[in-house]
Structure 1
Amino acid sequence: MLLSTQIVFGKMLLQVCITNLHSIFVSILDWIGISTGRGRAVRVAHKAAVREVHRKTDKSEAVTPKIPTPTSVNYHFTRQCNYKCGFCFHTAKTSFVLPIEDAKRGLRLLKESGMEKINFSGGEPFLQEKGDFLGKLVQFCKQDLQLPSVSIVSNGSLIREIWFQKYGDYLDILAISCDSFDEDTNKLIGRTQGRKSHLDNLYRVQSWCKDYKVAFKINSVINTFNVEEDMREYIAELSPVRWKVFQCLVIEGENAGENALREAERFVISDQQFQDFLDRHSDVTCLVPESNQKMRDSYLILDEYMRFLDCREGRKDPSKSILDVGVENAIQFSGFDEKMFLKRGGKYMWSKADMRLEW
């Protein structure tokens, strides 16, 4: 709303300037007319040109910039994590987490602005209150806001079966991040904690998803350590509804640069290497590829303060919080490309009620 007001004010100011310039020009023309006798004809032509400028300006006032609809939102409500993945691009720069009532208020604002899907992420979202904070938000979004889709991205290491017993009914999709089916490679990447097996956790959570009727998904970041792997056999065995395959992404201030908490440069692969990986897995029907360009422009990301993050310039530039200025104002500074969102298949069958899965 603020941006629209500024645009209208600017156009009014432009018209005032044009009118003042017109008056000055007419005075000059009067002098020319006295001197040459041709002033009247020039004045007529000038007035016609001014009327045309006004007509175009008035017409343009009716065209207001299209405000994106927050159909699908990724809410990174915490930056804290128990893993240390070397390419992580949403690192523990703060320990802040909104009070749950403020988070719920923001989620309701998003629903009122058109949100259909919420994805909770981090950091590791199951860290806060041993998963209860997350569970309450999941229940609120499905039960109170009646959202068609509620999903989570987690590393899977802190999930317990009791969580599914309490909150599984309210969750549509659970995505577990897994970059390799070689335990040593996961350790090299940093996707591990102590002696715990990341792959054991992955298979355990997949089994619980089936038991408690939650759609299971896998996210993989393709990087220098796993780019030569063939994961087809494992993906077929785990049978996720979607396998999101991301090209390793560098974000200034997060995993690259002076103030970064990670150094992702050694994980970066070329576009051709990424394409070779995709070609090797082209027969995997659930695979959904995500290049760097798609990731930067086509996601609506909310940080722990409920600010939209604009990643177009290779860094995360925050808007003001939707709690302070509202969704419509903040989303204009999100850098969100709605066309790219649709092109990459961002809107899909995301409600488990519609999936008709065989549990």
Structure 2
Amino acid sequence: MLKEGGMEKINFSGGEPFLHDRGEFVGKLVQFCKQDLELPSVSIVSNGSLIRKQWFQKYGEYLDILAISCDSFDEDVNVLIGRHQGKKNHVENLHKLRQWCREYAVAFKINSVINRFNVEEDMNEQIKALNPVRWKVFQCLLIEGENSGEDALREAEKFVISDEDFDRFLDRHKDVSCLVPESNQKMRDSYLILDEYMRFLNCRNGRKEPSKSILDVGLEAAIKFSGFDEKMFLKRGGKYVWSKADMKLDW
């Protein structure tokens, strides 16, 4: 239904897409979207902790972009943020995933959420060494109901930074050519987000308000309640060369 409605790019995120069935489920989704639907771009956002080389061997040819969440190159900061992966070093794993993307011709992307614990960090050297096709830099955004528990929103507030703090971080990294910044305003209105029930999630009011499912009312009726701002989508650079067939890269 989405393809018939004009969808060109699909991105699987979570939670953690590789959590279920060792990545087989998301792998089959990726293969279907590329092979059967023939979408120009299929991508995944992951923390990288559960991805194995065997997955690339089986499904890498169908994936255009793999985005890995990396909020810091300091393991102590990753512990504070919650990116710690037990005995596995998050930064070392990031470099391993970068190499696998080269081997299997998958475009490599990094997503970083800038918050109180990493806002003063200088990531220039590490990002340039990893050389992603895009480095998405998000300003920490509070979404009501995003985390469970009565105190979730209050706990999340300790991560929030001001617009001025975010601008200082961006200025410190202005020479990184692949940098794509996203402020709170840009994030809130410029994504088409579907949940597991195929409902669009409208974030305009600071919480994820679901539409009716496209399986019940169809795509056209459901998308009216998505809160999607096409102008903001274009302004934030949402449309770019997103098919690896069109990318001229030194993998």
* AA of the residue aligned to 2:23: G
Q: In the alignment, does 2:17 pair up with 1:141? A: no
Matches within 5 A, 1:306-317: 306-317=198-209
- Alpha-carbon RMSD: 1.3
Q: Which runs of 5+ in 2 are unaligned?
A: none
Checking the alignment, whether the CA contact within 8 Å between 2:142 and 2:153 is kept in structure 1 is no
Aligned residues: 251
Task: Please state how far the C-alpha of 1:258 moved relative to its aligned partner.
Answer: 3.4
Which position in structure 1 is the counterpart of 2:140?
248
Kindly report structure 1 stretches of 4+ aligned residues shifted beyond 6 Å.
none
SS of equivalent to 1:219:
strand
TM-score scaled by structure 2?
0.97
Which position in structure 1 is the counterpart of 2:168?
276
* AA of the residue aligned to 2:13: S
Q: Which runs of 5+ in 1 are unaligned?
A: 1-108
Which position in structure 1 is the counterpart of 2:3?
111
Identical-pair percentage: 80
Please give the alpha-carbon distance, in whole angstroms, between the structure 2 residues aligned to 1:262 and 1:136.
38
User: Could you say which structure has the greater relative contact order, defined with CA pairs below 8 angstroms and 6 or more residues apart?
Assistant: 1
Which position in structure 1 is the counterpart of 2:59?
167
Q: 1:342 to 1:267 in 2, by over 3 A?
A: same
Which position in structure 2 is the counterpart of 1:302?
194
SS of equivalent to 2:77:
helix
Which position in structure 1 is the counterpart of 2:216?
324
Q: In the alignment, does 2:80 pair up with 1:188? A: yes
Of stretches 319-328 and 240-249 in structure 1, the one that deviates more from structure 2 is 319-328
Which position in structure 2 is the counterpart of 1:266?
158
Checking the alignment, whether the CA contact within 8 Å between 2:68 and 2:110 is kept in structure 1 is yes
Task: Please state how far the C-alpha of 1:248 moved relative to its aligned partner.
Answer: 0.1
Please give the alpha-carbon distance, in whole angstroms, between the structure 1 residues aligned to 2:94 and 2:154.
24
Match of 2:44 among 152, 167, 172: 152
SS of equivalent to 1:348:
coil
Matches within 5 A, 1:9-88: none
Structure with higher helix content: 1
Task: Please state how far the C-alpha of 1:194 moved relative to its aligned partner.
Answer: 1.8
Which position in structure 1 is the counterpart of 2:12?
120
Please give the alpha-carbon distance, in whole angstroms, between the structure 2 residues aligned to 1:158 and 1:245.
23
Of stretches 149-158 and 191-200 in structure 1, the one that deviates more from structure 2 is 191-200
Please give the alpha-carbon distance, in whole angstroms, between the structure 2 residues aligned to 1:256 and 1:339.
32
Q: In the alignment, does 2:239 pair up with 1:347? A: yes
Task: Please state how far the C-alpha of 1:261 moved relative to its aligned partner.
Answer: 7.7
TM-score scaled by structure 1?
0.68
Q: In the alignment, does 2:108 pair up with 1:216? A: yes
* AA of the residue aligned to 2:216: D
SS of equivalent to 2:61:
helix
Please give the alpha-carbon distance, in whole angstroms, between the structure 2 residues aligned to 1:261 and 1:134.
30
